[in-house]
Structure 1
Amino acid sequence: MQSFFDWYHGEPQRLHPVERAAKMHVDLVIIHPFRDGNGRTSRLVMNLELMRAGFPTAIIPVEDRAAYYENLDKAGKDMDYGPFVQQLGQLVERSFEPYWYLLGIA
């Protein structure tokens, strides 16, 4: 965990907030610091990081869960974060839709 926090206070501050949130989520799942609830905790940390940067939370819909787990697994096993970052970016973009509607943009 110390390495995770050391990493967080260094390099990630230069990453796009969506990329940073995705990497934090994956890395916490890999570390698996708790006996139970690692996935939920990692998603909460991911969403907290998004909100801190002014983004809406990302909710993983049931129909996207298979791809979510596949992309999460690829990031964890192959250190290829690209597909997970892309999926999270799409989920965040979808999360903006209610705001766009309220603003009359969509």
Structure 2
Amino acid sequence: MNAIYEKLNNALDEFNSLGVSNQIDFAKLYLYSIITHSTAIEGSTVTETENTLMFDEDIVPVGHSVTEQMMNLDLKQAYDYVNGLIPKKPEITVECLRHLASLVMKNTGSVYNTALGSFDSSKGDLRLVNVSAGRGGKSYLSYQKIPQRLEDFCEWLNGEREKKYEDSASIYALSFEVHYRLVSIHPWADGNGRTCRLLMNMIQMENNLLPSILRKENKSKYIEALSTSQEQKDSTIFVNFMMESMTEFIMQCIEDYKNSDEI
């Protein structure tokens, strides 16, 4: 077995044997952490504590823009929706992906007017313009090719979801590959990162795995791994980075748990 996979499997075994996730409110607060870090990568400065108060007590955080607040509230609703889908394990279609994107961008999306017509990112519309990753950055797939590429992506993904995987690390690897492939298509004008991480977590959760958190502190390494994979057309660079990040996170959870009053 690949050493990276083995290390993650071992960390998961210890995490589960200790019962770290059995702590009170672990699932809820863990989800809030996922949301906080995912939006932070996109520029939100709302903290986990502020999100907890906003989600549970309707207390609006002070000192943050309405856009930041809506980013977090929308992503919370998107995760709630996905949690409701998990037991059904529906087929992933282009329309399903568009709906996920519409939830993510519900209150922060925009209408774009182009020579080919208008599209609305708050409704999950696919982009009708070409985009690049910042000034002088990588150009993403031409918008004309997006519909067919998404159809191909969904066919591949549904096929992978039907397979039997030997261990948890292999499922995590699949979820990271899903993230890589979808974000490389870059179907939307806005919200690609959050939507891809949402789908990545959905694959993990439907397999009863702890959904991975991409911490804001790893943003630069995350972007670098993604960019390098795309430049070299080698997804394993990105997948391995995500595997190592997940292993590091779980081991930190274990250490924190052992040092707490829970044990």
TM-score where L is the length of structure 2 = 0.35
1:56 and 1:92 in contact (8 A); partners too? no
| Alignment coverage as a number of residue pairs | 104
1:66 maps to 220
Structure 1 unaligned regions, length at least 5: none
Structure 2 unaligned regions, length at least 5: 1-149
Q: CA deviation at 1:14?
A: 5.8
Give the stretch that moved more between structures: 10-19 or 60-69. Answer: 10-19
RMSD across aligned positions (CA): 2.6
1:10 maps to 159
* Residues 25-79 of structure 1, C-alpha deviations (whole Å, 9 max, x = no match): 0111111111210111001111111122222122222321111001111222322
For 2:153, give the aligned amino acid: F
Q: How does 1:22-33 map to 2 (within 5 A)?
A: 22-33=176-187
CA distance in 2, matches of 1:52, 1:43: 14
Q: CA deviation at 1:11?
A: 4.5
1:45 corresponds to which of 196, 199, 208? 199
Give the stretch that moved more between structures: 81-90 or 5-14. Answer: 5-14
Q: Structure 1 or 2: larger helix share?
A: 1
Q: Displaced runs of 4+ in structure 1, greater than 6 A?
A: none
- Counterpart check, 1:101 vs 2:257: yes
1 or 2 for the larger relative contact order (CA 8 Å, sep ≥6)?
A: 1
Taking every aligned residue pair, what percent have the same amino acid on both sides? 29
- 3-state DSSP class of the match of 2:242? helix
- Counterpart check, 1:54 vs 2:200: no
Q: CA deviation at 1:6?
A: 1.1
CA distance in 1, matches of 2:250, 2:199: 17
TM-score where L is the length of structure 1 = 0.79
CA distance in 2, matches of 1:54, 1:90: 20
With over 3 angstroms needed to count, the CA separation of the structure-2 counterparts of 1:23 and 1:14, relative to structure 1, is farther
